[in-house]
Chain A
C-alpha cells in the first residue's frame, strides 16, 4: 500500500469520526418503510392524489380525465409550469398535469421518473429487465414502451415526442431513438463493447437536429453528436468537446442564443458550468466555475445557475453577465424556468414548502403556492411539451 492509499484510508476514517447522532432513525425508518409498503400495495391512486394538486391556469380549456377526481387548490401558476415537483427522490408522489390538471402520482419504489412528456410521465422501470415506461394520464401503472433498457440515461426531445436510449439484446447494445408514446424505433445504431470505445455510451440531451451522446467517464469522456440522417455516431463537435470531462449537459437551440450558433452547457472537471458555442470550433464563450448550471430559458437568451444552495443567479446567455439574482436564505429545494421571464423555486418554510415565482425583469418574487410538508427532498422532473 503506497502513501496515497494509506492517507486515503486515514482521511476517510477521520472525516467520519464525528458523525451526528440520529436517535430516532430506527423509528422513522420503520415508519417510512411501512408507508412505502402501503404505497406499494395500495391501489388507491386517488387517495394519494388527495395530497396536493395544482390547477394550472390554461387547463380549464383542456378536458380533464373523467375517471379521476380533479385535485384541489387552484394555484396561480400561469401557463404550463416547467417545474413539476417530484416529492421524494424515487419512490413518491409526482405532481403532473395530464390533461392540464396536476395531481399527485405514486411512483413505485425503484422506478425513476425521467421526464414529463405530453403523453404522460416517462419512468425507468426498475427490475430484472429494465424498461422505459410511460405512465399515461389515465393509467394506474406505467406500460413498458422500450424494453431491454441497458442504462438509466435517457435523452428526451424538447417536444417530448422522441427519446434516445441504449438498449441491449442478444444482438448486442444499440443506441436507439424511439417515437413517443408508441415506442416505435425511428433509427438505431450498433455500439461496440464499452471496452473498445473507451467506456459506457450515454445519451445526454437533444438539440434540434441531433442527439448529444457521451462516451466514457471523467477526463476521457468524448462528446459526440448523433445527427439526423446519420446511421452512425460520428463527429466530435468539431473537436471542441472531445475529452472535456463530465458531459452532464443542457442544450439551447434557439437561433439567438450565444451568437446565433446554439449553445450547450457542460459540467466538466474544472467548472460546474461552461456555456459553449456549437459547431463554431472556438471553445467556450464563458464559464461559471462556482455555479451549477440549471438550464437555459425557453428562448435561450438566459441561463439559470445556482450558487451554493441558497441563491439563484440569472445570466445573459451571450456573455454571462448577471441579469438577476434571487437569494433564498431558507435554502433551495428545487428550481427551474417557468417562462422567459419567470423562475420558480421551492423552499422550506416551517412544515410547509413554498413555491415562489420570481420575475427576472422586475427583480421581484412572490409566493405562488404552498405545499404540504414532505419529509423528503422535493425534486423537479425534467419537463417537455
Chain B
C-alpha cells in the first residue's frame, strides 16, 4: 500500500539496503532480543505512555512489530534498541496527537493538582502528575534525558528533532515543573 508510493520510515535508516525478508536465524535473533530487552523497553514505554501499563504494552507491541519489519536492515545491536526506542517515542506522539478524535479512551484522566489536594499529595506524586500533564513531546524528551540518560544529541536523534529543540523542550518542561511545584497547593 503506502509503502509502494513512498519509502517507509525504516527505509530511511538504510536507504541503500534492499529490504531483506527476515527468516530463520533472524527470527531467532529477534526473539532473543525481545526476550532480553523487553523489560527495559516496557519501562520506557510506560513512561512515554503516561503511566499506563496496558497502553505501554500496546505501544511496545506496535514498536516491536515495526522493528521486526526492519530487522534485516538493522545489523548493529545498539541500533536495534535505538530503533525500538525511536519507534516508541514517535508512536506515542502520534497516538497522543490523535487523541482529540476521541479514538482512545484513556484509562485515567490526569488529575489536576489542585489546592484542595495540597495536604494529601506528596511532592513526588505532584511531580509525577505534572509530568503526565506535560505535552507528550516534552514528556518524551524528559523521559529520554532523565530516565534513559541520553545526551541532548542522542535524544534529538531518537526523536527526529534538532538538538536546539531538545534543549528548549527540556528547559521549558523543567521550568514548568519548577513553577508548578513551587506554586501554592502544588504538593
Contact with B along A1-33 (1 / 0, CB 8 A): 000110111111111100111100111111011
- Report if A144 contacts B (CB, 8 A): yes
Contacts of A79 in B (CB 8 A): none
Which residues of B are found within 8 Å of A7, using beta-carbon distances? 123-124, 127
Q: A4-B127, A15-B51, A32-B65 are in contact. Are A108 and B42 (CB under 8 A)?
A: no
Q: Roughly how many angstroms separate A15 CA and B42 CA in the complex, as a whole number? A: 12
Cα of A56 to Cα of B74 in the assembled complex, Å? 45
B150 lies within 8 A of chain A by Cβ: no
A90–B35 CA distance with the chains assembled, in angstroms: 24
Asked whether B58 lies within 8 Å of A376 as measured between CB atoms, the reply is yes
Q: Bound complex: CA of A62 vs CA of B51, how far in Å?
A: 46
Chain B contact residues: over half helix, strand or loop, or mixed? helix
Question: CB within 8 A of B174: which of A5, A111, A380?
Answer: A5
Which B-chain residue is minimally distant from A106 (CB atoms)? B1
Residue pair A152, B38 in contact (C-beta under 8 Å): no
> Which residues does chain B contribute within 8 Å of A22, judged by CB atoms?
38-39, 42, 57
Contact residues in A for B181 (Cβ distance below 8 Å): 4
Does A109 have its Cβ within 8 Å of any Cβ on chain B? yes
> Is B17 an interface position by the 8 A CB rule?
no
Q: Are B1 and A270 in contact (CB under 8 A)?
A: no
Separation of A219 and B57 alpha carbons in the complex (Å): 30
Q: Which residues in A have their C-beta under 8 angstroms from that of B123?
A: 7
Provide the residues of chain A in CB contact with B117, threshold 8 Å.
none
Known A8-B142, A29-B61, A306-B102; contact A133-B135, beta-carbon cutoff 8 A: no
**Given the complex of chains A and B, what is the CA–CA distance between A219 and B176 in angstroms?**
10
Q: Would you call A86 an interface residue if the criterion is a C-beta within 8 Å of the partner chain's C-beta atoms?
A: yes
Q: When the two chains form their complex, are residues B2 and A29 in contact, meaning their CB atoms are under 8 A apart? A: no
Contact A8 B177 (CB under 8 A): yes
**Which residues on the B side are within 8 Å of A269 (C-beta)?**
133
Contacts A11-B128, A30-B31, A112-B94 given; does A40 touch B62 at CB 8 Å = no
B83: interface (CB < 8 Å): no
Contact of B8 among A34, A126, A309, A334 (CB under 8 A): A126
Nearest residue in B to A266 (C-beta to C-beta)? B100
Counting contact residues on chain B (CB < 8 A from A), the size range is 35 or more
Contact A217 B135, beta carbon cutoff 8 Å: yes
List residues of chain A with CB within 8 A of the CB of B142.
Answer: 8, 12
Asked if A19 and B46 make an inter-chain contact with CB atoms under 8 angstroms apart, the answer reads: yes
Give the interface centre of B6, B9, B27, B68 by most chain A CB atoms within 10 Å: B6
Complex contact A293–B102 (CB within 8 A): yes
Residue of B nearest to A7 (CB): B127
A residues less than 8 Å from B147 (CB atoms): 9, 12-13, 16
A21 to B35: give the CA distance in the assembly, Å.
Answer: 11
- Complex interface bits, A129-144 against B, C-beta within 8 A gives 1, otherwise 0: 1110101000011111
Assess whether A272 is interfacial by the CB under 8 Å rule. yes
What residue of chain A has the Cβ atom nearest to residue B148's Cβ?
A12
Instruction: Kindly identify, within residues 92 to 107 of chain B, every residue whose CB is under 8 Å from any CB belonging to chain A.
Output: 94-95, 97-107
Residue pair A129, B6 in contact (C-beta under 8 Å): yes
Which applies to chain A's interface (DSSP): helix, strand, loop or mixed? mixed
Q: Are A130 and B6 in contact (CB under 8 A)?
A: yes
Q: Which of A30, A127, A331 contacts B3 (CB 8 A)?
A: A127
Known: A7-B127, A29-B64, A89-B62. A133 touches B5 (CB 8 A): yes
Say whether B24 faces chain A, with CB atoms less than 8 Å apart.
Answer: no
Q: Give residues 135-187 of B contacting A (CB, 8 Å).
A: 135, 137-138, 142-143, 146-147, 172, 174, 176-178, 181
Given contacts A12-B143, A14-B124, A107-B2, contact A380 B11 (CB under 8 A): no
A184: interface (CB < 8 Å): no
> In the complex, which of the residues B131, B135, B137 contacts A8, with contact meaning CB atoms closer than 8 Å?
B131
With contacts A33-B30, A126-B6 known, is A109 near B106, CB below 8 A? no
**Which residue of the partner chain, among B6, B69, B95, B99, contacts A36 with CB atoms under 8 Å?**
B69
Most chain B CB atoms below 10 A, which of A14, A40, A123: A40
A111 neighbours in B (Cβ, 8 Å): 1-3
Q: How far is the CA of A353 from the CA of B92 in the complex (A)?
A: 24
Give the 7 A-B residue pairs with the shortest CB-CB distance, closest first. A33-B68, A127-B6, A248-B100, A108-B1, A379-B103, A16-B43, A294-B102
Besides A7-B124, A218-B134, A294-B102, 7 other A-B contacts (C-beta < 8 A): A11-B128, A19-B46, A30-B30, A110-B8, A127-B2, A217-B135, A306-B105
